[in-house]
Each structure stands twice: as C-alpha cells, then as structure tokens.
Amino acid sequence: MPSTRRRTLAATTVVVAAVVAAVALPLFQPWRLFTGKVVDEALPGADPISMTTSSVPPPTISGDRRQTPSAPPPKAPKRLTSGSFISHEHKTTGTVSVLELPNGSRVLRLEALDTSDGPDLEVWLSDAKVLDGRPGWHVFDDGRYRSLGQLKGNQGNQNYAIPADVDLKALTSVSIWCNRFNVSFGAAQLTQT
C-alpha cells in the first residue's frame, strides 16, 4: 500500500504543479525579463529623412526662368515641459517631454527610454509626485491619472498623443505603469522648460 500512496501523492503533486504553472506563467510572464522591443519614432514635425540617390537628375528645359517661391520651413515643436526618468520597480532611464505641435496638438515624447519589458505596460500622466527612493507600488493610481496607451516598446524614442481635454497643470508626472501588478517601473516629474 505505501507504493500506491506514493504514486497518488506524486500524481497529485504533478497535477497541482501543472495547474500552478498554467495560471502563473501567463500572469507573471517571466520570459519578458529577457525580451525587449526597440521603437524609434521620429520627432513629430521634424523634417523627413533625406534619401540620396545615385540616379542622374533629369535634364531641365530652358526658357521660362521665373523662380517659384519656396515654402517656408516647418515650425519646430515647442517644448512645454520635460523631465528625466527615475527607477521604481525596474531600472528605468531616459527623458520625457511634452511638445506642442504647430497645429496646437500636444504629444508626450519619450527619448532614449530604457526599461524592462513587462506585461500590460502603459504610459500614464498622473498628479502624483515623483520621489526618488520611493517604491512604485500603488503610487500613481491613488489620485488622478490618464493613460496615453500601451507602451510601444521598452527601449527607444516614442510619441504618444495627449488628448485635448487633458489638464497638464494637474497631471505633472509620467509613469511607465504595469496594470497587471499596479506598480510603476519608472517615472519622471515634468517641469516647465
């Protein structure tokens, strides 16, 4: 009988381990500690990248030599606020800026972002103060906040549209927020430039 008991215990242990793995692996996604995604978006309103060609330019036709007026150069985005990321639950570096585009719309720009990959990461504007050395658990969701969407990549340069109804005088910090575990990976306090 002891061998039957051992087999039953072993089978139960295997079943419990399989159930725990089936629940824990999708929830925690531990493999994301070893993965990453680089996103490199251009600065909004920047001149497009010039492409050189090895083709010979077409011949010009002589005759009318009137000059056509050239278009004025595009206006550069205006930097309203900026800040630098500090680490919370995961090492996070880079800078963040709020830019006003010539058409009046606003964009949150992450530059040289480097943080861990993780499940369900978003970019949040928040009214919480960013304090160095303070853990990121349950900080930015205690007050007012606005999600600007899923984090596009855990590294690189990225742009996030800021809806017109967002009050940037009230929401003065940015967090890379993990919704799954209610924790900030890193955050930046926005200050006037």
Per-residue pLDDT band for 172 (boundaries 50, 70, 90) equals very high
Lowest mean pLDDT among 62-76, 92-106, 137-151: 62-76
Is the pLDDT at 27 greater than 50, yes or no?
A: no
Give the separation between CA 144 and CA 126, rounded to whole angstroms. Answer: 6
Residue 15, pLDDT score = 58
Per-residue pLDDT band for 79 (boundaries 50, 70, 90) equals very high
Structure tokens at 8: 């039953």
pLDDT over 70 percentage in the chain: 70
Residue 133, pLDDT score = 75
Q: How many other C-beta atoms are found inside a 10 Å radius of the C-beta of residue 127?
A: 16
Give the separation between CA 73 and CA 13, rounded to whole angstroms. Answer: 70
Lowest mean pLDDT among 52-56, 66-70, 80-84, 149-153: 52-56
